[in-house]
Amino acid sequence: MVATILSIALTKRTRRFIKPKTTGATVVRRTGPLMPELRVGPLTLEARSGANLLDTLLAAGLPVAWSCRAGQCQTCLVQARPGQASPASTAPLTAHQQQAGWLLSCQCQVIQDMDIHLHDPASDGMGAQLVYKENISPTLLIIRVKPDRPLRYLPGQHMVLWLHAQLGRPYSIASLPTDPYLEFHLRLHSEGAFSAEIVKLVVGDRLALGAPGGHLSYDMEWQDRPLLLLAGGTGLAPLQAIAREALRQGHDAPIDLWHWHSDADDGCYMQARLLQLADEHASFSAHLHKRSTLESDLRQLRLASRSTMALVCGQPGFIEQLRKPLFMAGLPARQVLDEAFISRKA
């Protein structure tokens, strides 16, 4: 009987079964890199190299919130040690978030060992109190919250509203830094988990806030350039805030705000406030229309100047519908900023 000898060599983190020198021995060979380890508190997971971090954490049954999977909503935040995150997973975040080790797990490929801290809104976010709640319609809710401490943000940015650790959704900020509250306009969905819970809140209830983010905001370098603001539905929230901020900053050029609301809605939900703004500022005009007139309205769209800056906000289909008309009107891509509401139904 010939003895079988098995020897194992570990070289550069590679397991390899080496053929034994003994004549007649059974040979088993397997080559492949060790799988990266994910250390999450007391738990250690093995991940396939190149795997998506969010998918890996969810597959292990870990409570990681998520919404858009496109790197925009910031609900899938986790924290790692410096140097462990891929550049793509940190690019959308602020410099402060990056320095603290935060990353977007939906955008992170696992290529090395990582030490992961799961985001906890209660300790990692900012507390806030609901101070105002108004049901504009069965599908539209306006809320105002007061943060526990002063918060720096730019009108038009967005942040995640957290009801608990597993339920958060991103919403655009509709208020100005000079307001004593943060205002949000929420589209309600009949089968949305967030919608079902947010409507139960009453004034005085608590929630948590994520960090402000997003590229949609007013740039002081636009002072002498006309602004064309195009909003669909609650895409009006950030754009009217940008318009008000521009006027507050003494914007010199015309500001044209267009809003298309659902034909089922009883007009533009901010009509009174926008018309008052137009009465107070000769340089501001508001064009409020039903969604069914969008195509004909776009055919009549005229630019005040070739230097016009266009800001677009709404559902992805709405934004796509505006790309060609803006291009045909003579606006290069660098003069068009858009933000699509692409998170899953709230």
Domain assignment of residue 164, yes or no = yes
Please give the single-letter amino acid code of residue 161.
L
**What mean pLDDT do residues 282-295 have?**
96
Residue type present at position 10:
L
DSSP 268: -
Which of these three, 98, 119, 140, is where a domain ends?
Answer: 119
The residue among 68, 86, 119 that closes a domain is: 119
Q: Kind of pairing, strands 284-290 and 255-261?
A: parallel
Query: 102, 119, 136: which is the final residue of a domain?
Result: 119
Identity (one letter) of the amino acid at 209?
L
Band (pLDDT 50/70/90 cuts) for residue 343 is low
Three-state SS at 184: strand
pLDDT number for residue 11: 38
Q: In one letter, which amino acid is 304?
A: A
- The answer to whether position 215 is within a domain reads no
Are residues 285 and 228 part of one domain?
A: yes
Query: What would the two tokens of residue 280 be?
Result: 């107070």
Q: How confident is the model at residue 12 (pLDDT cuts 50, 70, 90)?
A: very low
Residue 345 lies in a domain: no
27 and 77, same domain (yes or no): no
Q: Based on the domain organization, do 115 and 185 belong to the same domain?
A: no
Residue 235, C-beta contacts closer than 8 angstroms, at least 6 positions apart: 172, 312, 313, 314, 315, 318, 339, 341
Residue 310 lies in a domain: yes
Q: What is the model's pLDDT at position 45?
A: 93
Place of tokens 């978030």: 97
CA–CA gap between residue 30 and residue 48 (Å, rounded): 16
Question: Domain range holding 10?
Answer: 1-33
When pLDDT is averaged across residues 294-318 and rounded to a whole number, the result is 92
User: Does residue 25 fall inside a structural domain?
Assistant: yes
pLDDT, tens digit, for every residue of 112-162?
Answer: 999 999 999 999 999 999 999 999 999 999 999 999 999 999 999 999 999
Judge whether 214 lies within some domain: no
Evaluate if residue 37 carries a pLDDT over 70.
yes
Lowest mean pLDDT among 173-182, 193-202, 288-297, 325-334: 325-334
254-273 pLDDT per residue, tens: 999 999 999 888 899 999 99
Residue 62 placed within a domain: yes
233 and 318 co-located in one domain: yes
Asked whether residue 312 is assigned to any structural domain, the reply reads yes
Q: Are 112 and 141 contained in the same domain? A: no
Residues 45 and 138 in one domain: no
pLDDT tens digits for range 308-335? 999 999 999 999 999 999 988 889 999 9
